[in-house]
C-alpha cells in the first residue's frame, strides 16, 4: 500500500521517487528508514569501472543474453559499451556496462527472481572490492558517483562511512517476502508477487533485522494484511508456512 491505494510496491518509486519508496517500505513493513541512496545505470557503471571491474561466474545462458542488454544500457547511460561476444559459460571480468547489463537479465530460468539474485550478487562483489580499495579509489568513486545519485546524505557523510568500509559486511542477501505467490494478476492484468500473510512475513523480517527486540505487528500492518487477503484471496490459513513456500505456487 502507498498513499492509501494498493499497487505493486515498485510503483511507489515510479510515481514519487526514492522518498515515496522509503515511505512505502516504512508503512508496509513497520520500519523507520530515514536515509536513502538511489542509484541509476550511470552511477552503477561508474562504481564498477572505478573499482577496476568485477569478476562474475556466468552460465552459457547468461552469457548469451548479456550482450542483448549492453547497447541499450550504454546508450541510456551515455557511455560506450563493449560486447562480451562470447556465449560460453565461465568466469568473466565485467566492466561497468557489462555488469549493469548482467543485472538486467530476466529471460533465463528463474525469471525475475533470478534477476534480483544477480543484482544482489553484483552488489556483494562491489562491496568486497570497495572494502579492499585504497583511499584514492574510494575518493574517486564518491566524486564520480555523487552527482549521479539521489540521496538524503551529504558527500561528507558518505565519505565518513566509506572510510570504515573495511569493517562492513553484508549480513545476508535474501529476498522479501519469505512466503509468497508470484502469479497473481491485478485488475490491469499485471503479474504481481503477493505475500502469503503480510503480517507473518513482516514479523519474520523484524526477527531477522532486529533479533534482540520484541516485535508485534502494528494496527496499520494488520489492516493492510487484511485488505490484501480481501483483494487477492491469498489467505495464509490455506497454506502450510512451516517451511519456505515454493514460489511457483499460484493464488486463486
The owner of cell 529471460 is 107
Q: What is the pLDDT of residue 208?
A: 92
pLDDT of 46 strictly over 70: yes
List beta partners, residue 194: 181
Residues 6+ apart with CB under 8 A from 83: 67, 70
* Contacting residues for 217 by C-beta, under 8 A, at least 6 apart: 30, 199, 202, 203, 225
- What are residue 57's DSSP bridge partners? 91
pLDDT tens for each residue of 193-252: 999 999 999 999 999 999 999 999 999 999 999 999 999 999 999 988 765 544 433 333
Are the CB atoms for 42 and 24 separated by under 8 Å? no
Three-state secondary-structure class, residue 92: strand
DSSP state of 215: -
Partnered with residue 130 across adjacent β-strands are: none
**Mind listing the pLDDT tens digit for each residue in 66-109?**
999 999 999 999 999 999 888 888 999 999 999 999 999 988 87
- Is pTM beyond 0.75? Reply is yes
Amino acid at each position: 500500500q502507498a498513499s492509501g491505494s494498493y499497487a505493486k510496491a515498485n510503483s511507489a518509486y515510479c510515481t514519487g521517487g526514492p522518498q515515496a519508496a522509503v515511505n512505502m517500505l516504512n508503512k508496509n513493513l513497520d520500519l523507520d528508514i530515514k536515509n536513502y541512496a538511489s542509484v541509476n545505470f550511470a552511477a552503477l557503471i561508474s562504481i564498477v569501472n572505478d573499482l577496476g571491474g568485477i569478476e562474475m561466474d556466468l552460465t552459457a545462458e547468461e552469457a548469451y543474453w548479456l550482450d542483448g542488454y549492453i547497447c541499450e544500457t550504454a546508450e541510456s547511460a551515455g557511455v560506450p559499451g563493449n560486447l562480451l561476444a562470447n556465449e560460453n559459460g565461465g568466469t568473466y571480468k565485467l566492466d561497468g556496462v557489462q555488469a549493469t547489463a548482467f543485472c538486467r537479465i530476466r529471460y533465463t530460468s528463474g525469471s525475475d527472481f533470478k534477476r534480483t539474485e544477480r543484482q544482489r550478487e553484483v552488489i556483494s562483489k562491489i562491496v568486497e572490492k570497495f572494502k579492499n580499495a585504497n583511499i584514492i579509489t574510494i575518493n574517486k568513486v564518491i566524486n564520480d558517483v555523487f552527482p549521479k545519485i539521489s540521496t538524503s546524505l551529504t558527500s561528507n557523510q558518505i565519505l565518513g562511512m566509506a572510510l570504515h568500509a573495511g569493517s562492513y559486511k553484508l549480513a545476508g542477501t535474501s529476498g522479501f517476502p519469505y512466503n509468497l505467490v508470484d502469479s497473481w494478476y491485478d485488475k490491469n492484468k499485471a503479474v504481481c508477487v503477493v505475500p502469503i500473510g503480510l503480517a507473518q512475513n513482516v514479523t519474520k523480517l523484524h526477527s531477522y533485522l532486529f533479533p534482540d527486540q520484541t516485535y508485534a505487528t502494528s494496527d496499520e500492518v494488520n489492516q493492510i494484511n487484511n485488505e490484501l487477503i480481501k483483494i487477492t484471496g491469498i489467505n495464509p490459513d490455506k497454506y502450510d508456512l512451516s517451511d519456505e513456500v515454493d514460489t511457483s505456487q499460484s493464488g486463486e
